[in-house]
A and B are shown apart, each in its own frame.
Chain A
Amino acid sequence: MSEGTVRLRPPRNALDRRAIAWWRWQWALVFAPAVFVLALLGLLIPPAAVWLLVPAAVLALAGAVWCVVLPRWWFGLHRWEVTETAVYVRSGFLWQEWRVAPLSRVQTVDTLRGPLQQRFGLATVTVTTASARGAVKLSGLDARVAADVAERLTERTDATPGDAT
């Protein structure tokens, strides 16, 4: 890492490899409808065909590059770790972000599996504290790992007295 980076060490664990495919599909589902609509209109309205088909092609190409290249890069940036005392997550590149929530302050642990995530056997664990803005999200974990993490965190949280504010 370059000189000015915050001196926080990277969390120990990478996400599950399947997260790359998951991200690809997510973005494909963003690009595809736009390309489809443009192309369809281009075919249905012959006078404006060029004005619609060219943007459609450009968008399709950009989307393809986006979906192929970026997720692989993101994979290296997103890391997570759960220690005896805290949950620690790193994410983002243009706006890199490190989040730490001590387990003694955790209030709820939620596991979420969207339709796409289920398809890839992935899950997202959201760890919230009493702060409205302090949630820590571990997304793109293997579903079994996620269940394990959630269980461990829940045990720890139940053991903590008080309302963690």
Chain B
Amino acid sequence: MSGWRRLDRRTLGVTAVLLAGITVSAGTPIAIGTRSLWLAPAAVLFIGGGVLADYVRWRHTRFRCTAERLEVEFAFVAHTRKSLLRERIRGVDLTANPLHRAFGVAVLSIGTGRDEKITLSPLARADAEALRTELLHRIPEPAAHDGPLAILDPRWIRYAPVSFVAPALGLSAFGALFKVADWFGAGGGLLKWLLNLFGGLSLAVSVLLLLVLALVVGVAGAVGLFVEMWWNHRLDREPGGTLRVRRGLFTTRSITIEERRLRGVELVEPLGARLAGAARVDAIATGMKRDDGKTEAKTLLPPAPRAIAREVAARVTGEPVTDVPLVPHPPAARGGRLRWALLTALAPVLVLLGLGALLTDVLLVLGGLLAVVALPVAVLLALDAYRGLGHGSRGRYLLMRAGSVRRSTAVLARDGVLGWTVKQSVFQRRRGLATFTATTAAGSGAYSIRDADADEGLAFAVAAVPEVLEAFASVPAEASRT
């Protein structure tokens, strides 16, 4: 495969159907409103123009894959040429939305993990797969298949409603509804209609019922989103040293992460998922842009039972990293967390009580209610956050765990640590605590051991990555390395 090739011709069909869809959905209300006939030729012109432009793009774009490079050329009036060194290609992702799938094509995007990126839109599905294999598996190896690392079990859908997505979606659905109603000046009317929905019930009950309704909508949305994102999810380790995630119900996606780029994994347990016994596995890899987060390109495993998540983490890293007993942090860290939690919970309560004393009793009641709800929650979260703290190491990996609302266990490769930052506030100094942050090129750029014992943490950080902190520690590292 070294000659010049073209994109798939069916792109014209995709464009035509897409533009027709846009024209019909945007044009119908206008047509109904204005009842004018000039819309029909305008629509034809719009679709025709779009298809013509796409034809020009298709006719004059060619690409080829030589032994060293992948090149794309567009020569029409202007002449542009992009080329990527094949050995620098780090990721080849395939995406196909429902329209692409109907036409049997897929979009291939090839990146180096930096800014350079080539998108071939679209190729025939089989061609896209073949090109992906050709680009990634530079050394063709006999397929040593040990089966997928993970496959979606439909029962995991039960973890969708407990995510933070559910309430957010529910509320934003209502928000959108009111926004649209507001455009037509019917916001107030809509509210009245919604409140009257429940007949003669009191205002408080009606509002409560509306909230429940929002939550139900949110749960339905979260389940729908989960299914669309994760249906047919499958995580494979491929010959040639890559991990491949395939998923999606309507829009199918295939994401490839080179293991050379992998610096570890992160076991993420948001509060809701944790209470349900679930955890998600994210990759800590270099060259993933942070704005890729929207497609959750870094997620290797959606929320799944914790045992499965641990097993996937262990199989991806190649070491049983998740059953290492972690070193707990000193009780002083609990005191700090409790103080902060109480302060944050008390501040609004005190404001309400203060205003209540000055203005009206209603605020006193509200303040009391808030205190009854917020204080225990704050204390529980603080205690839970303390219990979550821990660090340890296993083979070539460091483990750092923290967080309550979003508990995360970072499993970071020692050789991926670029440097250390040690931070100590006045409060931490008084209690002999410090925060040790390992900086890395991958993932979020830094992973922290929060509120560890100042001496033990330093000994750990010194021992964890040779020759970084050693020269600056005033206590011989051996003495405290137990």
Contact = CB atoms under 8 A, between A and B. Distances in A.
Contacts of B348: none
Contact of B469 (A95, A100, A131, A132): A100
A5 B454 contact: yes
A131 B290 CA distance: 13
The range of chain A's interface size is 20 to 34
Given A85-B467, A97-B423, A8 B472 contact: yes
A99 B424 CA distance: 12
A102 interface: yes
Q: Which of B286, B421, B437 has the most CB of A within 10 A?
A: B421
Nearest to A131: B439
A120 interface: no
A3 to B, nearest CB: 7
A131 to B, nearest CB: 4
A4 B431 contact: yes
Contacts of A55: none
Contacts of A136: 419
A100 B432 CA distance: 21
Interface in B124-152: none
A101 interface: yes
Contacts of A129: 418-419, 439, 441
A106 B424 CA distance: 25
Nearest to A8: B472
A23 interface: no
B116 interface: no
B475 A7 contact: yes
Interface string B435-470: 001011110111000000011011000000001110
B192 interface: no
A27 B64 CA distance: 59
Contacts of A134: 418-419, 421, 439-440, 445-446
Contacts of B445: 131-134
A160 interface: no
B383 to A, nearest CB: 23
A4 B428 contact: yes
A107 to B, nearest CB: 9
Interface string B247-290: 00000000000000000000000000000000000000010000
A12 to B, nearest CB: 10
Contacts of B475: 7
The range of chain B's interface size is 35 or more
B434 A85 contact: no
Q: Is the interface of A mostly helix, strand, loop or mixed?
A: loop
B432 A8 contact: no
A100 B431 contact: no
A99 B429 contact: no
B423 A133 contact: no
Nearest to A130: B441
Contacts of A86: 419, 468, 471-472
Contact of B423 (A4, A88, A95): A95
A67 to B, nearest CB: 22
B441 A4 contact: no
Given A131-B445, A132-B445, A134-B446, A9 B419 contact: no
B160 to A, nearest CB: 31
B343 interface: no
A5 B429 contact: yes
Interface in A94-118: 94-102, 105
Nearest to B419: A101
Contacts of A85: 467, 471
Interface string B410-436: 000000101111111110111111100
Nearest to B260: A165
B24 interface: no
A134 B442 CA distance: 11
B418 A5 contact: no
Contacts of A165: 286, 416, 418, 441-442
Contacts of B433: 4
Interface string A136-165: 100000000000000000000000000011
A86 B446 CA distance: 18
B365 interface: no
Nearest to B433: A4
B90 to A, nearest CB: 11
Contacts of A99: 419-422
Interface string A61-97: 0000000000000000000000101101000011111
Contacts of A133: 437, 439, 444-446
A165 B443 CA distance: 12
Contacts of A44: none
A98 B468 contact: no
Nearest to B459: A7
A7 B439 contact: no
B143 to A, nearest CB: 29
Contacts of B440: 131, 134
A131 B418 CA distance: 7
Contact of B429 (A4, A7, A9, A102): A4
A94 B425 contact: yes
A148 B472 CA distance: 22
Q: Which 4 A-B pairs have the closest CB atoms?
A: A134-B439, A4-B432, A130-B441, A132-B445
10 contacts: A4-B428, A5-B454, A85-B467, A86-B472, A94-B426, A96-B424, A100-B421, A131-B418, A134-B421, A165-B416
Given A100-B421, A134-B419, 4 more contacts: A3-B432, A4-B433, A102-B468, A129-B439
